[in-house]
């Protein structure tokens, strides 16, 4: 059960929603009478309250999470979609930024810093707390490139080409990258200078619309060169994924299996069994197993709400998200993560209350468990760690 302090915090938040929502300003929006041309500016700001069951400086504090400035526009068949993130520790990143051209009802082309189409994207979870796929580069992942999507009511086909990956200093989501692209890396990370080049992603999804709910089943693939700056040789990277999105009334299910492999051409003495990931968060670089299999099983239940006490509260969503990473190296223990909780949709507020439990996961245990996605041989390795997290978001 939640501690009394959490219940007090939640009651205070929900009670204030009605009064605060009354002060909400409509985001800037302009459009022509026929709607063919428009521009809109919006975004959000979020804060966290945490209780981490390990040695942590975050316990009992309300801390800034991140803020976004979103700009969207349309000019006949052309459109613009950008999102700029303001993060903690004075960091900034481009979450995505692309222009698009709607060729016709079925064909769409995008160019810029685009989402990489793969499996369940961009968010393979219900919770505020990111699951294992995010930390391995399979969620909210973008890169400079161009994509083409052909879709109708029965299927989606998306093809994307990314010649390079976004620099670690502006990237929001983690991606494999070179240590010399970051201002700060650990001495043990400096020899890892691999970077993806010329990545191609393909995603195919078959859709069904039944009376009991919409269904989707898909397959994805990704390949790229893996250039090593020290040896000037090219290895390769590939990933394959299967996914399903199933809706049954108020219930929805997300399932996915992903296998990936980084074949690095490292200098002698550099461990080929791990790859360096870059992130623009408080942990700028960390290792993951160079080959592994990820499993995802998420379930959500959405309940519409109509109450005179909280008139802005439209839905309450209960969820449980589970992910696991099996590493190809048989001596390395698997990573597990499960997040359960509830989301309150009281626009302009979105509130998540998450409980997360896991082992060999860097985000649960902090830096002391930073080998979680590889050998899991540091302090806290093999230990189940738990935290509560309340995220409060105001959208404008």
Mean pLDDT of 10-25: 44
pTM above threshold 0.85: yes
Contact 349, 10 (CB under 8 A): no
Q: Are β-strands 78-87 and 62-75 bridged in parallel, bridged antiparallel, or unpaired? A: antiparallel
User: What is the C-alpha separation between 204 and 150, in angstroms, rounded?
Assistant: 10
* pLDDT: which is higher, 344 or 370: 344
Q: In 3D, which of 210, 235, 236, 214 has the Cα closest to residue 223?
A: 236
pLDDT digits (tens, 9 = 90+) for 180-198: 888 788 899 999 999 999 9
Does 8 score more than 90 pLDDT?
Answer: no
Please tell me the predicted confidence (pLDDT) of residue 5. Answer: 47
User: Other C-beta atoms within 10 Å of 357: how many?
Assistant: 16
In this predicted structure, the answer to whether residue 39 has a pLDDT above a threshold of 90 is yes
E-only strand ranges, the chain: 28-31, 37-52, 62-75, 78-87, 92-102, 107-115, 142-151, 155-164, 175-176, 194-210, 213-228, 233-248, 251-263, 274-278, 285-289, 291-304, 315-327, 335-346, 349-359, 385-395
Sketch out the chain's domains with CATH numbers: 4-395 (2.40.160.10)
Q: State the chain's mean pLDDT as an integer.
A: 91
The 10s digit of each residue's pLDDT in 271-327 is: 999 999 988 766 788 999 999 999 999 999 999 998 777 888 999 999 999 999 999
Q: Is 30 exposed, middle or buried (0-12, 13-18, 19+ CB in 10 A)?
A: exposed
In contact, 194 and 168? CB cutoff 8 Å: no
- Beta carbons of 336 and 362 less than 8 angstroms apart: no
Give CA torsion, residues 344, 304, 299, 43, to 10 deg: -40
In 3D, which of 305, 384, 385, 388 has the Cα closest to residue 341?
A: 388
What are phi and psi for residue 343, nearest 5 degrees? -115, 130
User: What is the secondary structure of 358-393 as a DSSP string?
Assistant: EES-TTTTGGGGTTTTTT--STTTT--EEEEEEEEE
Cβ contact 145:162 at 8 Å: yes
Mean pLDDT of 111-121: 97
**Distance between CA atoms of residues 151 and 205, nearest Å:** 9
pLDDT of residue 9: 43
> Are residues 274 and 289 in contact, defined by beta-carbon separation less than 8 angstroms?
yes
Where residue 149 falls among pLDDT bands split at 50, 70, 90? very high
The model's confidence at residue 21, banded by pLDDT at 50, 70 and 90, is very low
- Mean pLDDT check: name the lowest of 87-101, 190-204, 220-234: 87-101
Give the Cβ contact number of residue 183 at 10 Å.
7
Return the half-sphere exposure (C-beta side, CA atoms, 13 A cut-off) of residue 332: 24
Two tokens, residue 210: 């039944």
pLDDT of the residue at 307: 78
Residue 1 pLDDT:
43
Query: pLDDT at residue 95 above 90?
Result: yes
Give the whole-number percent of the chain exceeding pLDDT 70: 93
Closest Cα to residue 126, out of 384, 318, 371?
318
8 A C-beta contact, residue 106 and residue 149: no
Q: In degrees rounded to 5, what are phi and psi of residue 271?
A: -70, 115
- How far apart CA 136 and CA 118 sit, in angstroms, is 13
Each residue of 352-375: pLDDT tens digit?
A: 999 999 999 999 998 888 899 999
Quote the tokens at residue 167.
Answer: 């620099």
Residue 319: closest CA among 339, 336, 345: 339
> Sign (positive/negative) of CA torsion 266, 268, 271, 272?
positive
pLDDT at 14: 43
Give the distance, in angstroms, between the CA of residue 379 and the centroid of all CA atoms in the same chain.
Answer: 27
Alpha helices in the chain (DSSP H): 4-21, 132-135
pLDDT reported for residue 362: 92
Output the pLDDT for position 281.
Answer: 65
Q: Does residue 252 contact residue 299 with C-beta atoms inside 8 Å?
A: yes
Mean pLDDT of 58-72: 92
Range in 14-23, 183-192, 254-263 the model is least confident about: 14-23
Q: What is the pLDDT of residue 335?
A: 97
Average pLDDT over residues 119-143: 95
Positive/negative CA dihedral, 237, 242, 245, 251 = negative
Q: 201 pairs with which residues across the strands? A: 160, 222
Strand pairing partners for 29? 40
Q: Quick one: pLDDT at residue 19? A: 44
387 by Cβ neighbours in 10 Å (0-12 / 13-18 / 19+) ranks as: buried
Q: What pLDDT score was predicted for residue 282?
A: 62
pLDDT for res 264: 97
């Amino acid at each position: 059960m939640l501690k009394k302090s959490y219940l007090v915090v939640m009651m205070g938040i929900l009670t204030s929603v009605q009064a605060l929502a009354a002060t909400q300003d409509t985001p800037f929006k302009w459009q022509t009478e026929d709607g063919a041309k428009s521009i809109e500016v919006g975004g959000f700001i979020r804060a966290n309250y945490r209780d981490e069951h390990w040695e942590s400086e975050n316990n009992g504090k309300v801390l800034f999470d991140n803020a976004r400035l979103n700009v969207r526009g349309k000019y006949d068949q052309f459109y613009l979609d950008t999102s700029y993130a303001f993060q903690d520790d004075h960091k900034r990143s481009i979450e995505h930024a692309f222009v698009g051209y709607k060729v016709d009802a079925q064909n769409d082309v995008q160019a810029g810093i685009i989402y990489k189409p793969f499996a369940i994207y961009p968010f393979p979870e219900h919770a505020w707390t990111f699951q294992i796929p995010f930390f391995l580069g399979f969620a909210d992942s973008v890169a400079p490139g161009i994509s083409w999507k052909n879709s109708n009511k029965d299927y989606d086909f998306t093809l994307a080409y990314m010649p390079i990956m976004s620099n670690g200093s502006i990237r929001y989501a983690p991606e494999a990258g070179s240590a010399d692209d970051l201002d700060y890396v650990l001495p043990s990370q400096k020899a890892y200078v691999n970077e993806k080049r010329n990545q191609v992603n393909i995603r195919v999804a078959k859709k069904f619309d039944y009376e009991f709910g919409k269904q989707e089943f898909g397959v994805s693939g990704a390949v790229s060169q893996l250039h090593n700056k020290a040896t000037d040789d090219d290895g390769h990277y590939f990933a394959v994924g299967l996914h399903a999105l199933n809706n049954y009334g108020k219930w929805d299910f997300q399932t996915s299996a992903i296998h990936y492999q980084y074949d690095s051409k490292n200098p002698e003495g550099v461990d080929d069994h791990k790859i360096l990931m870059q992130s623009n968060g408080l942990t700028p670089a960390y290792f993951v197993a160079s080959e592994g299999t990820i499993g995802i099983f998420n379930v959500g239940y959405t309940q519409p709400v109509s109450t005179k006490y909280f008139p802005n509260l439209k839905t309450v969503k209960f969820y449980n998200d589970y992910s696991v990473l099996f590493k190809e190296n048989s001596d390395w223990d698997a990573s597990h993560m499960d997040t359960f909780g509830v989301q309150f949709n009281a626009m302009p507020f979105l509130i998540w209350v998450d409980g997360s439990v896991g082992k060999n996961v860097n985000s649960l245990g902090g830096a002391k468990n930073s080998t979680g996605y590889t050998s899991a041989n540091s302090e806290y390795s093999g230990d189940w760690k738990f935290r509560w997290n309340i995220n409060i978001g105001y959208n404008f």
